[in-house]
Structure 1
Amino acid sequence: MTAILVVDDEKEIGTFLSHLFLEKGYRVDVMSCGSEFLQIELETCFYDLALIDLKLPDTNGLMILEKIKQHQPNCKVVIMTGYSTIETAVRAIKLGASDYIEKPFDDIDLLEEQIDQLLLKTPTRGGQHVTNLANEVGFIIGSNQTMVELAELAYKVANKNINVLIEGETGTGKEVLARFLHQASSRNYSSFIGVNCGALSESLLESELFGHEKGSFTGATKQRKGLFEVATNGTLFLDEVVEASSSIQVKLLRVLESKEFMRVGSEKVIKTNARIIAATNENLFEAVKQKKFREDLYYRLNVVHLVIPPLRERIEDIPLLLNYYLQRYPEVKLAFTDEAMDMLQHYSWPGNIRELTNFVTRLVAIEDANEAIIGAEQLPFSVQPQKETLPAKVKSNVAEMSPNHKLKEIIEKWMNKTLNKYEEEEVNLEEILSEMKGLETEVARAFINKALDKTYGNRKAASKQLHINLRKLRYLLNEKEK
């Protein structure tokens, strides 16, 4: 028999939930405080579901959550909370809660549906379902633990009508994560609309967000709906929100607080139900401290805070990501040698996922054959890992390519030696000519090694820079041995 635990200090809620679940044939235990809960023998008394009030007279609901998860990790936990404590409820989800429910229960049918879904949810709706849904929108999770936890949290809050703030470096995929949130929500039937707050002037951004009436400004030849109106039942993505002007920030705050706005040049109030997802490549809290961003708007946007790690912190996912982006070109089959993959995994990728996709596009474009195995020497010269981060195997190869001394030192050493001999009464000219050939070899190797350093071992690119063919480069690197 399905067993449910209810812990809430409001007697009416306990009685209501007990009656609701008993009618469904479940076993229900109702408790009103933390001290009653602590009397349960969790090693022998098992529950399928626990509904816990976040605020209890003698304890915090998070303590009960942790106790249950410690002894019964398979028990699903739902936190019951008021709107003012939603941020704490989101923290509860991070600690292992399956969901949270806002009190009072305005929609009993929705409450029953949430509970039934949790109790009837099959294992296939877990991690693999999240991965499949993410793949549909191009949000590749991979095996990195930070990314796995990020995706799980995003999936849990996707269906909540709360604002989300996404932070991450440029190119990490903030908009793709926003699309994943939209797709995983019940709003996926409606529009996902994005706008870059840093790409438009203040007046254009205001018109874009709120719309305008005909004749409200020069060039306004007809009425236009704003994005808050167009996305009213969907998701509005505000990219680089930190770039919004102070005036726009005030207007955004008003919309988030009241769910109302007016078009530019109009006095008519329009309602909106758009779900807001904001993103920035800056630390928004730091921007608040620097007075660049309004603190009240920050807390309105930052109900749920998601941070995407840079690509250099998830290098174990690079093979998966490369394979995913190469699938966009089914006519080309490329593979990488272990050495090439080592170099790719130890490159810093300052442009993150965006740079990786551009790398794949460029690689496909310059590769002549439809099938090829890419070696380290064939990697485009822009992929230049830091030597100290390279594995020993690759580092040793790079060391062989690098000059041991600068060209100036080579020439100065030869010049001093030759001038000293010039002052002598008697010299061996054949020996001097031989040393000149040695200088030629050293100078050639210095130029080649400089080019190889710049292209990080890509001999094809190095020979192009030196205006010699690849055969000549290899010949000179071999110290002109025939």
Structure 2
Amino acid sequence: MTNILIIDDEHEIGNFFSHLLTRKGYHVTVANSGKEAINTINMQNFHLAMIDIKLPDANGLTLLKHLKRQLPTCKAIIMTGFSTIKTAVEAIKLGADNYIEKPFDNIDELEGKIDELLENNVTDTKKEIVQLAKKTGLIIGTNTSMNELITMAYKIAQKNVTVLIEGETGTGKEVLARFIHQASNRTEQSFIGVNCGALAESLLESELFGHEKGAFTGASQQRKGLFEIANNGTLFLDEVAEASHAIQVKLLRVLETREFMRVGGNSPMQTNTRIIAASHANLYEAVKQKKFREDLLYRLDVVKLEIPPLRKRKEDIPLLVHHLLDKQNSNHLRFSDEAMSLMQNYEWFGNIRELVNVITRAITLADGETTIITPNYLPIKLTSTIEQVSPSQNLKSPIKSTAYDHDFEAYLNQWVMEILQMWKNDSNVDFEEILNQIKLFEDQIGKAFVTKALRKTLGNRKEAAKHLKISTRKLRYLLNEKGTDL
């Protein structure tokens, strides 16, 4: 028989669950205090425990920890009021399988959650996570931090809460957002993403909220915004820290009231859109610097997920490489042990986005020549011993210019030789390959000149931008959006 433990100091709650679950054939034990709960857990075995987050003599999280130590396989549901949702999320991090909010408005839904949790074992859950990850292109790998992150994302996906994803540029924040959408009850609805730093304020406002005909010059007809289009679905706000203060105010209103107005409109509109926001910048630091509204941060940071950078999950690089080869229909190619070792020793400050660029380049060069990709097909930055400097790291002393300049000159010579080889090739020319080579060359040139400017200014980005005759915003774009490993 399935044993269920109810831990709640309200006798009415205990009686309610005892009647509801006994009628379904479960054996129910009720504990009305923390002390009674601990004694019960020590003496009996349970398949499911439902724990109130607040008891007069105990904290629900403390009881959860004790439960998981004594009965590791016991499922756990945290019972919470709306004001303690963040605490409930912490409970999930500690091993809780779900949480439910008081009061219990929908009894059928409540029964369904309990039955589903008892019917599904750990293997089934892991299998579903793997299937959803494969569907969205999310590579879980073996890294402990990444596995814990994905498990947490899966658990909160079905909750109607706002999620904030933080992580360095190129770590795959949008892929994680898509995974959450697919694991949620909104999977049949729209998932729409927008980069808040890619559009000017007026364009972003119209994109998010829509506009009425004649609202501004060029508004020849009414246009729906993303909050309207993504209603009942998921809206992914990438680089939300780049949104202007005026846009931040409007976003705050949507999160608080679920209402918005089109540009030039007079009537508020309702939206049931779930918001997943992302930022490569630390929003708490942005608040300290008066670049981001504190009240908006608290509205966004209901559940925060931090994606580890690739350099902290290097054991997953072979799996990622295999996935990328498969994605580009290049399973006939493989990387030599030496090439794979170089990739695992590289710091990847551009993260998975940079890895994708390196793999694409190697496939392009090796295709038709070999089936084994050796270090000769890797960029010089992977094979060089030159010190790698993170984009977030301030340069307090210059890199030795002789070493760097030599490395850059070698790259230029190699690139010219490769293009000349294509030029002299008498067979058909793959023009798309040439364009890809030009793009890679553009990225490396940009990286080189930005690095040189940062060396000259000892890491002062404002001075470096001035030296390059570009805006600091453009410099940030070169550092953060192009996968540059500065």
Q: Does 1:26 align with 2:31?
A: no
Q: Find the partner of 2:414 among 449, 455, 461.
A: 461
TM-superposed CA distance for 1:450, in Å, is 5.2
SS, match of residue 334 in structure 2: strand
TM-superposed CA distance for 1:315, in Å, is 0.7
SS, match of residue 333 in structure 1: coil
SS, match of residue 79 in structure 2: strand
Partner residue in 2 for 1:171: 170
Equivalent runs, 1:216-231 vs 2, <5 Å: 216-231=215-230
Equivalent runs, 1:69-80 vs 2, <5 Å: 69-80=68-79
Q: Does 1:84 align with 2:83?
A: yes
TM-score (norm 2): 0.79
TM-superposed CA distance for 1:58, in Å, is 1.1
Q: Distance in 1 between matches of 2:121 and 2:179?
A: 21
Asked if 2 retains the 8 angstrom alpha-carbon contact of 1:198 and 1:241, the reply is yes
Counterpart of 1:22, as a letter, is T
Asked if 2 retains the 8 angstrom alpha-carbon contact of 1:340 and 1:375, the reply is yes
Q: Distance in 2 between matches of 1:239 and 1:246?
A: 16
Q: Distance in 2 between matches of 1:87 and 1:45?
A: 30
Asked if 2 retains the 8 angstrom alpha-carbon contact of 1:332 and 1:371, the reply is no
Counterpart of 2:30, as a letter, is V
Q: Distance in 2 between matches of 1:328 and 1:228?
A: 32
Runs (4+) of structure 1 exceeding 6 A deviation are: none
TM-superposed CA distance for 1:38, in Å, is 2.5
Q: Distance in 1 between matches of 2:221 and 2:105?
A: 41
Partner residue in 1 for 2:328: 329
TM-superposed CA distance for 1:453, in Å, is 9.6
Q: Distance in 1 between matches of 2:292 and 2:387?
A: 38
TM-superposed CA distance for 1:203, in Å, is 1.2
SS, match of residue 383 in structure 1: helix
Partner residue in 1 for 2:304: 305
Partner residue in 2 for 1:128: 127
TM-superposed CA distance for 1:283, in Å, is 0.4
SS, match of residue 141 in structure 2: coil
TM-superposed CA distance for 1:329, in Å, is 3.0
TM-superposed CA distance for 1:370, in Å, is 6.8
Q: Distance in 2 between matches of 1:5 and 1:78?
A: 10
Asked if 2 retains the 8 angstrom alpha-carbon contact of 1:164 and 1:304, the reply is yes
After superposing the two structures, state which structure 1 stretch, 180-189 or 120-129, moved more: 120-129
Unaligned runs of 5+ in 2: 389-400, 422-486
SS, match of residue 277 in structure 1: strand
Asked if 1 retains the 8 angstrom alpha-carbon contact of 2:210 and 2:226, the reply is yes
Q: 1:127 to 1:453 in 2, by over 3 A?
A: farther
Q: Does 1:2 align with 2:8?
A: no
After superposing the two structures, state which structure 1 stretch, 355-364 or 46-55, moved more: 355-364
Counterpart of 2:304, as a letter, is H
SS, match of residue 297 in structure 1: helix
Asked if 1 retains the 8 angstrom alpha-carbon contact of 2:41 and 2:67, the reply is no
Q: Distance in 2 between matches of 1:201 and 1:41?
A: 58
TM-superposed CA distance for 1:365, in Å, is 1.2
Q: 1:301 to 1:463 in 2, by over 3 A?
A: closer
Asked if 2 retains the 8 angstrom alpha-carbon contact of 1:80 and 1:103, the reply is yes
Q: 1:349 to 1:60 in 2, by over 3 A?
A: same
SS, match of residue 30 in structure 1: strand
Q: 1:282 to 1:463 in 2, by over 3 A?
A: closer
SS, match of residue 187 in structure 2: coil
After superposing the two structures, state which structure 1 stretch, 343-352 or 66-75, moved more: 343-352
TM-superposed CA distance for 1:312, in Å, is 0.9
Q: 1:205 to 1:450 in 2, by over 3 A?
A: closer
TM-superposed CA distance for 1:15, in Å, is 1.1
SS, match of residue 126 in structure 1: helix
Q: Distance in 2 between matches of 1:264 and 1:210?
A: 7
SS, match of residue 58 in structure 2: coil
Q: Distance in 2 between matches of 1:16 and 1:341?
A: 59
Counterpart of 1:110, as a letter, is E
SS, match of residue 369 in structure 1: coil
RMSD over aligned CA atoms reads: 2.4
Partner residue in 2 for 1:256: 255
Partner residue in 1 for 2:52: 53
Q: 1:294 to 1:185 in 2, by over 3 A?
A: same
Q: Distance in 2 between matches of 1:451 and 1:463?
A: 14
Q: Distance in 1 between matches of 2:162 and 2:25?
A: 37
Asked if 2 retains the 8 angstrom alpha-carbon contact of 1:333 and 1:370, the reply is no
Q: Distance in 2 between matches of 1:364 and 1:126?
A: 36
Equivalent runs, 1:6-405 vs 2, <5 Å: 6-40=6-40, 42=42, 44-330=43-329, 333-369=332-368, 371-384=370-383, 386=385
Counterpart of 1:197, as a letter, is C
SS, match of residue 93 in structure 1: helix
Counterpart of 2:51, as a letter, is I
TM-score (norm 1): 0.80
Asked if 2 retains the 8 angstrom alpha-carbon contact of 1:346 and 1:385, the reply is no
Q: Distance in 2 between matches of 1:139 and 1:331?
A: 19
Q: Distance in 2 between matches of 1:368 and 1:141?
A: 28
Counterpart of 2:161, as a letter, is I
SS, match of residue 217 in structure 2: coil
TM-superposed CA distance for 1:124, in Å, is 3.3
Q: How many residues align?
A: 407
Counterpart of 2:53, as a letter, is L
